[in-house]
Amino acid sequence: MLHLGTLVNLLASAPFVSGEELASRLGVTRTAIWKQVGILRELGYQITAHPRRGYHLVARPDKLYPWEVGRDLHTELIGKTIEYYEELPSTNRRAKELLGSATEGTLILAETQQQGRGRLGRSWFSPPGTGIWLSLILYPSFPPAELAKLNLLAAVALSRAVLATLAFRPLVKWPNDLYYQGRKLSGILTEVGGELGRLEYVILGAGINVNQKKSDFPEELRTKAGSLRMIKGRPVNRRLLLCSFLECFEEEYFYALGQGFDRCLAYCREHTATLGRPVEVDNGQKVYRGQAVAIAEDGALIVEDGGERFRVITGDVQLLAGPDLA
Ligand code: BTN
C-alpha cells in the first residue's frame, strides 16, 4: 500500500510532477497514482492535473494527518507514533485501549470528540477542526507522588509552545490549566495506573482551544473559555502549534526525568494565574476559600486562610478576583 504522506511529499517537491515520474519513483502504475491522488482530494488536498505538465499541489487541508504533523516535528520520542482519527468518543479512552501495545510517546489525535472528558467528571467541548484534542501515552519512571508535577509540566510545555509560535505567554493556573486575560485556553486530564509506589502508565490528555470564535462556544462557556484565535485576531496554524507543544513537552519531560522538576516549578511560580489570588478550592470532599500563596516542592498548592495554611494536592481551583477577571 502506497504511503499517502510520501505521495504528498513528492507532489510538494516541485510545482508539477508527472504521473509517470510519480509512478516510477513509487514503483506503482500510473493508474495507482491517479487513484491515490483521488484519495488525497477526498482528504481535502487541492490537486490539479494538467495534460502535459502533470499534477500540481495547490493547497493542503487544515488537518492534523500524521504525515502533516511529522513533517515539522523534531522529537526523539514524543509523537513519533501517531494514531489519527476524524472522530473518537475520547482520545484518552482510545489511549487506554492501546496501553501495553503502544510505545511510550504514542500520540492519539482526533479532529472531534463526542464524549471528550474533562477533570472532575466534567465533559470537554471538542468541536471538529478548531481545537487540538490529543492524548499522549507515557511510561515514566516517576513515583506516583510526582504526578502533580507532571501535570504542571504539561501546562508549562504548552505555555512555552504558545510563546514560541504566537508570541504571547499564557499563564499556568494550578493544577494545569492555561489562562489568558481571565479565559481558559486549555485543560489537561491525566489518567494513571500503577501500584505500590510505581506509576505504570500515564495518559496525558490535552484539549487546546485554537480556532474557535466566541460564538462557537456554548452559552455556558462563553464568558469563561477563550481560544488562541480570539487573542490573536486571526486563525492559528494548529499543526505548527502542535509540533511546538510536542517538542517543548519532550524537552521538559527529559529534563525532569534527568534533573527533577525545579525548573518546571520555577516557571509555574513565575508565570502564574493562581498565586497571590483569592481562590475557592474544591477537593471533592470540601470547599474552602483562601489566598493561594505558594506552590510547594511536591507541586501542591498552598492556600492560606486566616493564618492557617492548607495543602491542596488534587482538586479544582476557582479564581475569585484579580486584575484580569474584571
Ligand atoms: C479539564 O477539565 O480542564 C481537562 C480537559 C481535558 C480535555 C482533553 S481533550 C483530549 C483528551 N481526551 C479527553 O477525553 N479529554 C482530554
Q: Read off the pLDDT of residues 71-125 as tens digits, 9 standing for 90 and up.
A: 999 999 999 999 999 999 999 999 999 998 999 999 999 999 999 999 988 999 9
The minimum-distance atom of ligand 1 relative to the CA of 131 is 9
Could you tell me the residue ranges of all domains in the chain?
4-59, 66-270, 278-319
Q: Phi-psi bin for 27: left (phi > 0), alpha (psi -120 to 50), beta?
A: left
Assigned fold of 4-59: Arc Repressor Mutant, subunit A (1.10.10)
CA atoms within 13 A on the CB side of 319: 26
Q: Is 318 strand, coil or helix?
A: strand
**What residue type is 77 in one-letter code?**
L
Q: How far is the CA of 92 from the centre of ligand 1 (A)?
A: 8
Mean of the per-residue pLDDT values of the chain? 94
Residue nearest to atom 11 of ligand 1 (CA): 205
Q: Phi-psi bin for 82: left (phi > 0), alpha (psi -120 to 50), beta?
A: beta
Within 8 A by CB and 6+ apart from 317, the residues are 173, 174, 175, 274, 279, 280, 281, 282, 292, 301
Considering the domain 278-319, what is its CATH architecture?
Roll (2.30)
CA atoms within 13 A on the CB side of 73: 25
Is the pTM higher than 0.85? The answer reads yes
Q: Read off the pLDDT of residues 14-67 as tens digits, 9 standing for 90 and up.
A: 999 999 999 999 999 999 999 999 999 999 999 999 999 999 999 999 999 999
C-alpha to C-alpha distance for 280 and 278, rounded to whole angstroms: 7
CA atoms within 13 A on the CB side of 241: 28
In Å, how far from its chain's centre is CA 171?
16
C-alpha to C-alpha distance for 258 and 302, rounded to whole angstroms: 26
The ligand 1 site (C-beta within 6 Å) comprises 90-92, 113, 116-119, 122, 124, 126, 133-135, 177, 187-189, 205-207
Classify domain 66-270 by CATH number: 3.30.930.10
